Amino acid sequence: MVEALHEARRRTFALVASVSEDDLERVHSPLMSPLVWDLAHIAAYEDLWLVHRFGERPLLREDLAAMYDAFETPRAVRGDLPLLNSAQARDYLDEVRERALEVIEERGIGDGVLHEMVLRHEHQHDETMLQTLLLARLDGYELAGRRTMPPSPNPTHTGLELIDIPAGECTIGADGDGFAYDNERPRHRNDVRGYLIGRTAVTNASYLTFVEGGGYQRREWWSDEGWAWKEEYDISRPGGWTADLTAEWRLGGLEPLHPDRPVVHVSWFEADAFARAHGARLPTEIEWEKAATWDQDREMARRYPWGNRRPAPGQHANLDQRGCGTAPAGAYPDGASAYGCLGMIGDTWEWTSSGFDGYAGFVAHPYREYSEVFFGGDYRVLRGGSWATRTRVATSTFRNWDYPQRRQIFSGFRIARSA
């Protein structure tokens, strides 16, 4: 655990190593915090859970607790606060970490759950920071150790090819072993009707055809809410595409639009309209999870689509940030699920049709604000993690959620159809 905490911190610092003071402290998008907020928030969270709650010591900086509490200080106002500057935020991170390690030295890590939670929290904020860094469109941004992308598979994928998933029971949710968030439990059986689901996520080429075929003009393909959103904000293409539809913003600059890469930075509304235009729909999250994990022959869920082995980035999936963007759809055949679906983990978060709610028997843990307060409303579930998700947190049962109009995240989708 100590080594994992050190490794997480090395990555956090690596992400911002090439970013100027000014860019760390500035608001780049109204939807995102200044990067220095994320840095100090990582420290405040670790201080609260590992030093104060677990170690029973006073907070290092009681005076900062409210400013760096995600609930008390929503994103929209974070840019107006007297935040720590980047040097102060780094010191805060170092000092809290020193105390957290002292506590571990003194009393171990107990059952390890709080430490795992804090570790994953840092991993997840690293992805959030990459969203901000991409939205900031910083020219020449570099992440050390950048991985080269695999070539497009031959033949290439479009996202329109569907795989038949037969009706039948499967298990959904995280098992009792190991760490999982409250909203992934309890594992339960679910009887799913037969359906078809995309072998891969929908690609830029397929989405471009939709755009050029009047995708944003054909009223009949849009839900009422989706159409109203599109009209109000004058949306006519994915978030990172240029107006001439030939290039997209990636980490470090503008690149020609790659036809085989999954489309990314689309809202749930856009994903839904694309699916309708193809006589399809988005999968429910249960359908998504069954296609990703269920091994019908052995009647058991796999931990990952390819089996129970931890993901090896670059072999099973495009994960862990160093790819600095999406890879061609289907480029990792070793990551196929038992049903033959590709790229379910990594590359892009995939929108599902499902609203975010607890499974039957849900129990909030360790606090209601982790997920319960988001239930029952307007959030839609996303699955599978993106290229910017760290390996440890990219699991087949992990549930992400966001508003259907949001596209600051690394969100794409695959389509489905009832059998």
Report the helix count and the strand count for the chain, using DSSP H and E: 10, 13
Residue 114 to residues 46, 193, 269, 281, 284: CA-CA distances in angstroms? 10, 38, 36, 39, 31
Stretch touching Fe ion by CB under 5 A, among 63-71, 78-86, 96-104, 165-173: 63-71
- State how far the Cα of 416 lies from the Cα of 267, in Å rounded to an integer: 17
From the CB of 14, what's the least distance to Fe ion, in Å? 19
Question: Residue 154 class from Cβ within 10 Å (0-12 exposed, 13-18 middle, 19+ buried)?
Answer: exposed
Residue closer to Fe ion, measured from CB, 70 or 247: 70
Stretch touching Fe ion by CB under 5 A, among 12-20, 68-76, 164-172, 304-312: 68-76
From the CB of 181, what's the least distance to Fe ion, in Å? 13
- State how far the Cα of 414 lies from the Cα of 201, in Å rounded to an integer: 4
Residue closer to Fe ion, measured from CB, 181 or 222: 181
User: What is the DSSP annotation of 25-91?
Assistant: HS---TTS--HHHHHHHHHHHHIIIIIIIIT----TTGGGTTTT-TTTS-HHHHTTS----HHHHHH
Per DSSP, helices labelled H in 182-267 are 204-212, 224-233
Stretch touching Fe ion by CB under 5 A, among 13-21, 70-78, 81-89, 385-393: 70-78
Residue closer to Fe ion, measured from CB, 45 or 207: 45
Residue 116 to residues 46, 56, 163: CA-CA distances in angstroms? 11, 18, 36
Stretch touching Fe ion by CB under 5 A, among 7-15, 62-70, 299-307, 347-355: 62-70
Stretch touching Fe ion by CB under 5 A, among 65-73, 261-269, 275-283, 394-402: 65-73
Residues 141-180: x where in contact with Fe ion by CB under 5 A, - otherwise, as a string: ----------------------------------------
From the CB of 41, what's the least distance to Fe ion, in Å? 6
Stretch touching Fe ion by CB under 5 A, among 67-75, 366-374, 396-404, 409-417: 67-75
Residues touching Fe ion: how many (CB under 5 A)?
A: 1
The H or E element that residue 275 is part of is helix 268-277
According to CB under 5 A, which residues from 19 to 48 bind Fe ion?
A: none
Six-digit token pair at 164?
Answer: 């038949």
From the CB of 37, what's the least distance to Fe ion, in Å? 10
Stretch touching Fe ion by CB under 5 A, among 66-74, 192-200, 218-226, 286-294: 66-74
- State how far the Cα of 37 lies from the Cα of 373, in Å rounded to an integer: 23
Residue closer to Fe ion, measured from CB, 68 or 356: 68
From the CB of 155, what's the least distance to Fe ion, in Å? 42
From the CB of 45, what's the least distance to Fe ion, in Å? 6
From the CB of 247, what's the least distance to Fe ion, in Å? 33
Nearest residue to 133 via CA among 201, 38, 241: 38
The H or E element that residue 191 is part of is strand 188-192
Residue closer to Fe ion, measured from CB, 151 or 366: 366
Q: Bridge-partner residues for 418, per DSSP?
A: 195
Residue closer to Fe ion, measured from CB, 75 or 137: 75
126 within 8 A of 15, measured Cβ to Cβ: yes
3-state secondary structure of 239: coil
From the CB of 232, what's the least distance to Fe ion, in Å? 29
Residue closer to Fe ion, measured from CB, 45 or 349: 45
From the CB of 143, what's the least distance to Fe ion, in Å? 21
Residue closer to Fe ion, measured from CB, 180 or 277: 180
From the CB of 121, what's the least distance to Fe ion, in Å? 6
From the CB of 8, what's the least distance to Fe ion, in Å? 13
Residue 151 to residues 87, 248, 258, 318, 328: CA-CA distances in angstroms? 40, 18, 11, 13, 7
Q: Bridge-partner residues for 191, per DSSP?
A: 169
Q: Bridge-partner residues for 114, per DSSP?
A: none
Residue closer to Fe ion, measured from CB, 126 or 260: 126
Stretch touching Fe ion by CB under 5 A, among 49-57, 69-77, 255-263, 394-402: 69-77
Residue closer to Fe ion, measured from CB, 70 or 160: 70
Residue closer to Fe ion, measured from CB, 65 or 70: 70
Nearest residue to 316 via CA among 350, 341, 288, 346: 346
Question: CA torsion sign, 204 to 210 to 213 to 216?
Answer: negative
Whose CB is nearest to Fe ion? Answer: 70
Residues that bind Fe ion (CB under 5 A): 70
